[in-house]
Structure formats: C-alpha cells, structure tokens
Structure 1
C-alpha cells in the first residue's frame, strides 16, 4: 500500500500543526511520533525552549508551510530527524550530522565520561579517536581536556569532512587522518585509544530499525560475521604503534563485552580490564587500563 503524502491544513495554529503531523507520523509507523514532530517543528520555525511553547497558539506561518510539509514527509518515509535537521546534541554540544556519519548516541557519552574519569587529570596525553564519524568523541575529549593532543581517523573521506567542520565550528584542536582503524597512526606512541567501531553482526543488519538500516552508513554499522572484526583488527594492528596505549576504551554491542574483554586480556598490555554498563544495564563499554 502506497504511503500518503503529508499535506498540512492551511490557517491552523502551530499547536494544531503539531497535532496533525504527530498523527500522520504515527500512522506511518514512526516511533516517538510526537517527539519527532516537535523536533521538526522547532527546526522549521527556528524556535526552541520557552519561545516554542509560547508560540503554540499562534497561526502557523504561511511562508514555512512548504518546508514543514517536506520535513514531515521525509520523517514519514523513515529518514532520521537528525539528518533532516542536520544536527545532534552530544555531551551538551551540537554536532552536524549527515547521512555520511552515524548519529551520535547517548550511550557513547558514557564512554567519553569514563575516559575522562580514568585519565582526565593527566596533562599532555596523545589520544586517538578511531572511526571518528561526526567527530563526537574526539572533539568532546579535545574540548574537555585541552592539553591533550587529540587525533582522529576514519575510513570515509566524507565522514572526515563532517568531523573537520564540527571541530572547526566548536573550536576543538583535533588532527584528522584518513585510513583504516590504527593504520594512519603507525609509529605513534598514543596514551589513549578510544573507539566506537562498527559492531553489528552482518546478518543482524536487516533486522535493525528501518531508520538505522536504510539511512545510516553501512560501513559504520557492519562489524563482520560476529560484529567483532574491528576489535580483532585493532589488536592485530597494535604492533604498528611505537608502544601500546595506557588506556584503550571501546564501545560495543549487546552480548559482546566478554569477547572484547578477552581480546584485551589476551593482548597482555593492560593491568586492569573493566566493563561499564549503559543506562539500560547493558554492558556497553570495555576498557583496558595501565595508568
């Protein structure tokens, strides 16, 4: 059955436009339809916070009607709201996002937080963000620990362009390199490696939510047959470095913590291996530490 297009009713209030769009998105099967309608409405009308709520009784601006219909129809077709809006908040910062990069997730903030907890008091550390995507991890670490020398890599030239724009706009001093995982840093002696690599098992990708499966970059999702390929490759690439890092921190998928912890343990470089759960209680991050 062909999905109907959203056509807004003229001469409605902003609140009525919100209700109308929420109903349309819900009928399209969009999760959190009301939340998405609010995000798009704030974006199209350039309103936020108190100004948004104060404007709800006002007539919907006629000159924004076309942009509003386009945004709601894109969302109804499955496009993530973040790609329509062009940004996503991460660690209190606004990051540009495009279909060339994975949308930063709240659980990744916990990875940044743990790295800062373990090493944030140390100055002058060389830190690598592997598979940087939008630059969310590397840029945030550079801003929170400005004495650190932060470098970031990605295999996608287009993703690196997005990350570079984010670093410049937010005033973060990050050096970007193109290449596969640790390869761009051969000969370097990093103190910290942090990475949120692709970790979805290849056969599970078709079962992901359509928003993720059909719109986020496949190279940022596919972790090989069991989802662990990037972690194995990074362990194999460690000899490329002048020395192993003092801290290595990974984000990973559900059920992968034990295997990733064993990979770090087998490498034999870290005195302590710790696992950090996300807010849902899922073991989401594994760190190797020798400080």
Structure 2
C-alpha cells in the first residue's frame, strides 16, 4: 500500500486492489477490514474517513487486504459476522451465516408463537405421534426446539435469544463447530443445550416440538464450481449434501423414528431448485397437515416448512 494520508484514501486503494483481485463486494470488504483494524463501525467509521490513516494499523490492514485479495472471506479475517442483529464469531470451522437464513429463523419464530403462544407445551399439544394423534405428555413443559447442524450457532442462539421461554438444543458432527457455537451462546447471553453427533442421533428419545436445520445441500459435483471464497475456505462438511444435495434431508426424515413423536413444526433451508423435492419428502412422511415454501429476498424458494396446527 502506498503512503496514504487519510482513512478515505486507504479505503479507495484497498477497494481498487480487491476489485482487481476479483473479489466480490470489494468496497464492502475494504470497509469491514478498516472498521476492524480501527475499532469503529457505523456512523463512527464514516465520520473518521477524513482523519489521518493511523500508521499503527497499517501492517494489520495490509495483511487483511492481502488475505482478502487471495480469496479468503472477510468474515474469517475479522472473525465475525452479524446475524439477526447480533455479533457471531466465525472461524473456518463453521459456515458463514447468510442473510437468507434469517428468514428461516423468522418463520420458525412466527409459527412457533402461533402454535405455542406462551412457549409452553401442555397436555394435548405435544408433537404428533405416527398415527396423527396427540403424544403422551403428562405435564406442561417448555417448548423444545432442536437445530440440526449448529455451525456457528446462528439459528439456535437467535431462537434462544428471541424466544427465551423455549428450550433450545442444537447438534453438530464437528466438535470444533460446537466450540464456536458455545462461545457465541455465551457471548449473546443465551442458554443452548449443544450436543455432539450426526443429525438427529444426539436427540434420540427427546420430545421435540420444533426441528429446524440448514444442512449441507450442495451437490458434491457442484462444489468445484462454487465461488473461491466458499469452495476453498468454508468447511466442506457444511456444504456437501451428497450426489444431489438431498442426502441430509432424506436421512433426517428417516431418523424421525428416533424421536418419541415427529415435531409439529419442521423447517429446512435448501438450495436452488430443491424446494419441490424437499417439500415432497415432507409430504411423503405424512406427519404435517401444511407444507409451506418461503422465498428468499431474491425470489428463490429457499425454505420449506411442515406444520400441524
């Protein structure tokens, strides 16, 4: 980097370099890196643009820009991503939370509040048994929501923060990912029961009212064609959904037998062109009276929910 005089000049030079390097959102990346090394954000950042660029942060800023220019996601460089208005630590052990997943959280919170307004499951309001009747619940208890594939904890921690009356649990096959999720739960002041294991297996025998998951859904052969930021840096175990990307959904449908009864509310995030197939999997299971598809902000069918009222 040349001897820039102001923060604005540092921003302009970094943005130009990142654009030439083929980075997506080069200006946004430059701003996030600057905010990180300067320790400012929002209005404070814009107010500081005319200030002299501090020599003390030059080395750290140049190192971050170089890493970003090589394709490393800016979130891993600064170690953080905002989700649902809260800060989440992210490392290469976890998928970077995406804005579209916030829509899944919103849907789960909305329908969960409709089904259980006070966050309590009373006798007769249990998850449904395989015959469609009420489960055997002998006493009122907190609603139990389970997040499969916790990753950074974005979904489970947000549910716990937004619906504190719920009992929120989350599982992941990666011990490293669970460590990140646990730190994020602590950071955001929430209580989440994290469990290590494959999909629903850690929750065998547990009464589950809500099941939510953003599982790996990229077809294996498509991973080589992903953006370098995703392909080369995000954990493959959080991306690869098997030959057609649908293996995790099929397996979760099969593993529902591990639970005392299927959940009354289930919600999945999915990839482009998968909504019809995932909805068909839920319909074939026969546990839910409504199957709902939700589009993301680009109009792409992104989430499928099953609901029994």
Superposed pair shares fold, TM > 0.5: yes
Q: Unaligned stretches of 5+ in structure 2?
A: 120-141
CA contact (8 A) 2:33 2:65 kept: yes
Match in the other structure for 2:131: none
How is 1:193-272 mapped onto 2 (pairs within 5 angstroms)?
Answer: 193-272=211-290
Where does structure 1 lack aligned partners over 5 or more consecutive residues?
Answer: 1-7
Aligned to 1:78: 71
Q: Which residue of the partner structure matches residue 24 of structure 1?
A: 17
Deviation at 1:70, TM superposition (A): 0.4
Q: Is 1:98 equivalent to 2:91 in the alignment?
A: yes
How many corresponding residue pairs? 284
Residue 11 of structure 1 deviates from its aligned partner by 4.8
Residues 85-118 of structure 1: per-residue CA shift (max 9 Å, x gap): 1110111111000000000000000000001110
Query: SS in structure 1 opposite 2:185?
Result: helix
Could you tell me which residue of structure 2 aligns to residue 54 of structure 1? 47
**What is the DSSP-based 3-state SS (H/G/I as helix, E as strand, rest coil) of the residue aligned with 2:45?**
helix
> Which residue matches 1:158?
176
Tell me the TM-score normalized by structure 2. 0.91
The DSSP-based 3-state class of the residue aligned with 1:176 is: strand
2:293 and 2:301 in contact (8 A); partners too: yes
Distance 2:15 2:105 in 1: 34
Cα distance between partner residues in 2 of 1:136 and 1:34: 25
Is residue 126 of structure 1 aligned with residue 119 of structure 2? no
Query: 1:50 Cα deviation (Å)?
Result: 2.0
The residue number in structure 2 matching 1:280 is 298
Alpha-carbon deviation of 1:189?
1.3
Partners of 1:184 and 1:264 lie apart in 2 by 21
Deviation at 1:122, TM superposition (A): 4.2
Inter-CA distance 215–122: structure 2 relative to 1 (3 Å threshold): same
**1:213 Cα deviation from its structure 2 partner:** 0.4
Pairwise CA distance, 1:10: 2.2
2-side partners of 1:163 and 1:266: how far apart?
A: 33
Q: How does 1:163-202 map to 2 (within 5 A)?
A: 163-202=181-220
- Classify the secondary structure of the residue corresponding to 1:151: strand
CA deviations on 1:60-96 (whole Å, 9 max, x unpaired) are 1111110011010010010100001111011111100
Q: Distance in 1 between matches of 2:85 and 2:46?
A: 22
Give 4+ residue runs of structure 1 displaced > 4 Å after superposition.
none
- Provide the TM-score with structure 1 as the length reference: 0.96
The C-alpha deviation readout for 1:5-32, integer Å capped at 9, x for no partner, is xxx2225211111111111111101111
Kindly indicate whether residue 30 of structure 2 is the aligned counterpart of residue 12 of structure 1: no
Q: Distance in 2 between matches of 1:185 and 1:130?
A: 10
Question: Is the partner of 2:303 in helix, strand or coil?
Answer: strand
Q: State whether structure 2 residue 81 is matched by structure 1 residue 88.
A: yes
The answer (yes or no) to whether the contact 2:148–2:213 under 8 Å persists in 1 is yes
